[in-house]
């Protein structure tokens, strides 16, 4: 994607350095423009080095193109981060007196504005009126956060997370083919306590479930994410519920079930738990005998109460007889779709950023070659949506 990143003269300009770095790492094509005041906070050289990008500071500069008209024609998306009250006022009223405002006036594509300033400046009615106008003119406004500001005041005006800006950029270019669909995704492992210190669990990182939740919300779905213990930031705009044990996950899933159209059970739940949980830490001895019993079978519980119009997806994490075991689970749990993956491989599956899966439905079996879990997630949703059409 070709990104035109504009920096204006606020203290949050230094945070945009990381945004430039993220865009470079994503392998987006990047060009940067800066106002004169922005250069008082961060030098163009810093952005050029971190973003591996050309930096333009003068609308009259010529490098084979007229800067503001050429750059605005080149880019797929324009991001102004941070956007000062002054810059927003100029753009809202068609003033083009520097490279950023001139480029904004000439730009016709998707565009993102990231206001960051003192809380009183942000809350001023003039600023709010300008934001309303800019939104009407097609700017996607990424609202500032509430918190401690650089000048020592507290309130709304903090520059948001750069991950949020990237999310909003991705959203602008993602097809909204899941609008009006409500989706429940489970992710991560569950833990079954042995005593207050120890537990039984598995190696699931939660990455696959989180990528599915993120892909679904980007495509317009209303997403509920029931998560076991993981070390992953929540995808933006999802409703997340943290649980620990399999029973807690089962209860939360069943509580939400009637609210959703699609259930995607990507979590790797613990299949067994201790018959008894010690109330105090068990002291180390020569040996320890644990009697284990089965945990709640969440998919079986779903199959008992699901509506005929609901679409349920299971996962089969196997180390042998992959397709045979997956097909048995598909039939025995009355699923609409199952995703089988070989977790014995080191290059995919648990803890990896990559996966390779086979998808089984009532109509077809599809093998998805090794790719990122983000790519797998979107491919799964593509198959799911086709199957929903067939089912209905």
Point out the residues that are catalytic: 202
Q: Which two tokens stand for residue 220?
A: 């317009």
* C-alpha span between 356 and 173 (Å, rounded): 25
- Residue pair 314/330 in contact by the 8 Å Cβ criterion: yes
- Residue pair 205/232 in contact by the 8 Å Cβ criterion: yes
* C-alpha span between 333 and 123 (Å, rounded): 54
> Residue 367: what are its φ and ψ, rounded to 5°?
-100, 130
Cβ-Cβ contacts under 8 Å for 284 (sequence gap 6 or more)? none
β 272-274/292-294 pair status: antiparallel
Q: Which two tokens stand for residue 233?
A: 């930031």
- In the DSSP assignment, the letter for residue 214 is H
* C-alpha closest to that of 4 among 44, 29, 31, 27: 31
For the four alpha carbons of 36, 42, 45 and 47, in that order, the dihedral sign comes to: negative
State how far the alpha carbon of 88 is from the alpha carbons of 12, 70, 135, in Å: 15, 22, 11
Q: Chain-centre distance of CA 13, in angstroms?
A: 24
* C-alpha span between 332 and 2 (Å, rounded): 48
* C-alpha span between 283 and 234 (Å, rounded): 37
- In the DSSP assignment, the letter for residue 66 is B
- Neighbouring CB atoms inside 10 A of 125's CB total 7
β 77-83/2-7 pair status: parallel
Q: Which two tokens stand for residue 306?
A: 């699901």
β 192-193/199-200 pair status: antiparallel
> Residue 355: what are its φ and ψ, rounded to 5°?
-150, 160
């Amino acid at each position: 994607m070709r990104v035109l990143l504009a920096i204006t003269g606020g203290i949050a300009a230094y945070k945009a350095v990381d945004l430039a770095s993220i865009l470079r790492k994503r392998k987006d094509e990047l060009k940067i423009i800066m106002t004169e005041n922005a250069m008082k906070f961060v030098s163009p050289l810093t952005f050029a080095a971190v973003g591996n990008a050309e930096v333009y500071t003068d609308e009259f500069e010529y490098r084979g193109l007229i800067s503001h008209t050429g750059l605005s024609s080149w880019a797929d998306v324009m991001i102004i981060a941070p956007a000062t009250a002054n810059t927003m006022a100029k753009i809202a009223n068609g003033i083009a007196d520097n490279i950023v405002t001139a480029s904004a006036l000439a730009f016709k594509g998707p565009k993102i504005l990231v206001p960051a300033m003192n809380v009183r400046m942000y809350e001023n009615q003039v600023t709010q009126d300008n934001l309303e106008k800019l939104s009407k003119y097609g700017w996607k406004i990424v609202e500032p956060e509430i918190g401690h500001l650089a000048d020592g005041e507290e309130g709304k005006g903090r520059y948001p997370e750069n991950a949020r800006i990237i999310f909003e950029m991705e959203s602008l270019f993602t097809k909204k083919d899941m609008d009006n669909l409500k989706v429940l995704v489970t992710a991560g492992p569950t833990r079954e306590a042995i005593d207050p210190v120890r537990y039984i669990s598995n190696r699931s990182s939660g990455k696959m479930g989180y990528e599915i939740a993120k892909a679904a919300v980007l495509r317009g779905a209303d997403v509920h994410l029931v998560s076991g213990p993981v070390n992953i930031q929540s995808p933006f705009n999802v409703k997340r519920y943290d649980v620990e044990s399999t029973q807690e996950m089962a209860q939360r899933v069943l509580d939400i079930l009637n609210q959703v159209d699609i259930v995607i059970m990507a979590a790797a739940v613990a299949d067994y738990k201790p018959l008894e949980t010690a109330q105090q830490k068990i002291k180390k001895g020569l040996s320890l005998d644990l009697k284990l019993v089965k945990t709640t079978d969440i998919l079986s519980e779903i199959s008992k109460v699901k509506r005929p119009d609901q679409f349920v997806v299971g996962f089969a994490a196997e180390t042998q007889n992959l397709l045979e075991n997956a097909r048995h689970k598909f039939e025995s749990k009355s699923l609409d779709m199952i995703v089988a993956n070989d977790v014995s491989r080191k290059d995919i599956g648990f803890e990896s950023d990559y996966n390779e899966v086979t998808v089984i439905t009532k109509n077809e079996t599809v093998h998805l070659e090794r790719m990122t879990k983000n790519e797998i997630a979107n491919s799964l949703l593509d198959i799911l949506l086709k199957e929903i059409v067939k089912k209905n």
